[in-house]
Structure 1
Amino acid sequence: MIEKFIFKDQEFFILRDDLLGVFNGNKARKLAYFLNADFSDFSGIISHGSSQSNAMQALSVFAKLKGLKFHYVISHLNSNLAQNPVGNFNNALQNGMILHIAQNRQEFAKNLAKTQNLFFINEGVSQNEAEFGFKEQANEIKNYAKKHGLVFDIFLPSGTGTSATFLSKNIDFNVLTCPCVGDEGYLREQILALDKGSKVKILTPPKKYHFGDLKLELFKIWSELKTKSKIEFDLIYDPVGFLTIFANLNAFKNKILYIHQGGILGNVSQKLRYERKFKGQI
């Protein structure tokens, strides 16, 4: 579903991938291929990432639906979350996630995959099979644009860049993104690893934000968006995304289509972090 709103005098079209269903957002697109895949040769699946990863939560739901064990490796678990599980982490635990903590989480996950016959899934589901779901997403956008006589510049904030890469590969519209996990160099490297000829344009955020940074300007624009659009966005990626758009408006030549990639379950824990740090200010 695509809807429209005005924010800070700028018109936005929003692709509401957050409303897709049990799986929503970019994780629904990334996991589309695996829904009909045969895992009978494996004892379960394993992945790695952060303790409040949207992919972690989505994979826990996926594994539960498929009747698979789900192993997940993180490099650190803070005491607050360990004592009071909330958000994506709590949901994944409730779905039966088997948690491992290892400093080199990727290496640990790959080794465990071999020794316990687990199907390995990259952090953020950053792998070629993910393209399947973005072909469908691209078709939905193309059909809407054709029906309404529109040309879009598409924007979505990135972690690994998987979503932007595969959407761009399957659509003629410009696809723009910004880094929310590593820097621009890291993001470009991840994108080119998936598609050597990628035309994704990486925009520079107005300042460097480390992943999960607690900054008042991020919370402020998130709150303003919720009030103006009546849509709840992700509290980590989307604030950086919208600040980047407004810092780079000259990069957009056509109507802006912003992709809502879901992930709002993680807002529970992130909002608590903001309330602890900025008590009385928000």
Structure 2
Amino acid sequence: MLSKAECSLKIPSEIDKIFLDGRAFYVKRDDLVDPFLAGNKFRKLYALLQTPSNKLNQIISYGGTQSNAMLAIAAMCKSKGWEFTYYTKPLSQTLKDEDCGNFYHAKELGMKHVEIQHNFYKDFISSLRFNLDEKTFIIDQGGAVAEAKEGLEVLAKEIKEANSNVRSLATPSGTGTTALFLALTLSEYRVYTTPCVGDAAYLREQMSALCEIPDNLIILEPQKKYHFAKPYKEFLDIWQKLLQNKIEFDLIYSPSLWISLLEQTDEEILYVHSGGVSGNDSMLNRYRQKGFL
């Protein structure tokens, strides 16, 4: 059962209508679920959130320090009283000293951070599951675990119960877990996504590791090659346009999908907000350093 604190999470999330470049879109406001434990990461962690606190005592994960999953796991562990250890490759001192962004907030929530040297990182991550005790649980990078299916089925149920005439959904992809399980559960919907880490081939590989990709899942390949978490003027431009609708989206995952939706689709679409806005402060600093702001 959910704890008293977790029962206060804002679910089911509301749906708002917005306008972008003369087109109407709908937004599933999963960003409002919780300041840190929000968006697709809340959905992916849904099963763990229902796990009694005494069943586990430690969560282990790994990845990048811009990760929305990292912050969401830290918030969950804080709520549950679980220790959270997060492994990364070596970080710059500048990043360690930042007083904003996902990495800073995750540490404030009690995350234990461990750096692994580049040449040992891959083998170390592969060894994490050796000799685990029954009270330790590993969450792969980005929250890409089979247990995510349960929470995304809850999201799919909310979408169905909204009784909307919209039959196309959109959500950006890192590992593709959210888009994949939504498409599997909502076979009557078209589900659009874009690869934000690597290209479409890499995204298909990540999703195929979980299960077969259904025909209703459509990967929109951006017309321009974007490098993950790098500032782009067109990303800032569309983010600022979306902000005029009084909804803040993240600056890493959402811009390339919004650009692709405008360029490659024309129907009404429900965009599932994936959260991640807590990392915008640190990204905006990078845009300022580039002279874009």
Give the TM-score, by structure 1 length.
Answer: 0.91
User: Once the two structures are superposed, what CA deviation does each residue of 1:215-255 show, in whole Å capped at 9, x if it has no partner?
Assistant: 1111111111102x111100111111111112212xx5x42
The equivalent of 1:121 in structure 2 is 139
Structure 2 residue 208 is matched with structure 1 residue 195: no
Contact map agreement 2:172 2:253 (CA 8 A) in 1: yes
Which range moves more in the overlay, 197-206 or 9-18?
197-206
Distance 1:61 1:105, change over 3 A: farther
Alpha-carbon distance in structure 1 between the residues aligned to 2:58 and 2:272: 31
Within 5 Å, which residues of 2 pair with 1:104-253?
A: 105=121, 107-114=123-130, 117=133, 118-144=136-162, 146=163, 148=164, 150-171=165-186, 172-199=188-215, 200-227=217-244, 229-249=245-265, 252=266
The equivalent of 1:34 in structure 2 is 48
Count of aligned positions: 273
User: Once the two structures are superposed, what CA deviation does each residue of 1:133-154 show, in whole Å capped at 9, x if it has no partner?
Assistant: 111111111111x3x4x03211
Contact map agreement 2:17 2:24 (CA 8 A) in 1: yes
Distance 1:83 1:197, change over 3 A: closer
Distance 1:116 1:196, change over 3 A: closer
Letter in 1 for 2:16: E
Contact map agreement 1:25 1:261 (CA 8 A) in 2: yes
Normalized per residue, the structure richer in helix is: 1
Identity %: 39
Within 5 Å, which residues of 2 pair with 1:67-106?
A: 67-102=81-116, 103=118, 105=121
Contact map agreement 1:134 1:163 (CA 8 A) in 2: yes
Distance 1:69 1:109, change over 3 A: farther
Q: How far has the Cα of 1:191 moved from its partner? A: 1.3
Contact map agreement 2:183 2:190 (CA 8 A) in 1: yes
| Structure 2, gaps ≥5 residues long | 1-13
The equivalent of 1:10 in structure 2 is 23
Alpha-carbon distance in structure 2 between the residues aligned to 1:232 and 1:6: 14
Alpha-carbon distance in structure 1 between the residues aligned to 2:142 and 2:59: 14
CA RMSD of aligned residues (A): 1.8
Give the TM-score, by structure 2 length.
Answer: 0.88
Alpha-carbon distance in structure 2 between the residues aligned to 1:93 and 1:273: 21
Which range moves more in the overlay, 181-190 or 73-82?
73-82
| Structure 1, gaps ≥5 residues long | none
The equivalent of 1:273 in structure 2 is 286
Alpha-carbon distance in structure 1 between the residues aligned to 2:214 and 2:190: 11
